[in-house]
Amino acid sequence: MATTATKSAVDIVKGAYDVLLGQGNLDAFCELFDDDSIMRESETLPYGGTYKGRDAIKKGIQGVFGYFSAFGYEVEQITSGGDFVIAYGQFSATSAKNGKSVSFPLAEVWKFNGERVAFIEPIYFDVKAVADILAD
């Protein structure tokens, strides 16, 4: 997904959700990152950890999606200040292993370095609920 100098960080985030969750285009999503970018997931989840660089982030996202048979994030609001963008919405997922589902609010924090994503991290309302549906 190419960006132009006229695109705001909010526009980039909106486009990112569209290409990843709307179109299922992980490659276009990962083009927003560079080799110094970081994605961090809660350490208490089986896919938790810190992923650095475009390739690691791509593998991390593939790992996240691999745990779920259904996955969604309905963004309700996106706001920005300085280099940060925060998307707030409703997360929903169904475990691929056992069919259990969960749904709750989630905020995702994005930090930009120019038009590139420098950092992204979801803030789960209930990380234990996700861990519970992924457990045996």
Q: Distance between CA atoms of 61 and 120, rounded to whole angstroms?
A: 12
Token pair 């259990």: residue: 100
Interval 6-30: pLDDT, tens: 589 999 999 999 999 999 999 999 9
Domains, the chain: 9-134 (3.10.450.50)
pLDDT in tens, 24-56: 999 999 999 988 999 999 999 999 999 999 999
Terminal-residue alpha carbon distance, the chain: 38
pLDDT tens for each residue of 101-116: 999 999 999 999 999 9
Q: By the 8 A CB rule, do 87 and 13 touch?
A: yes
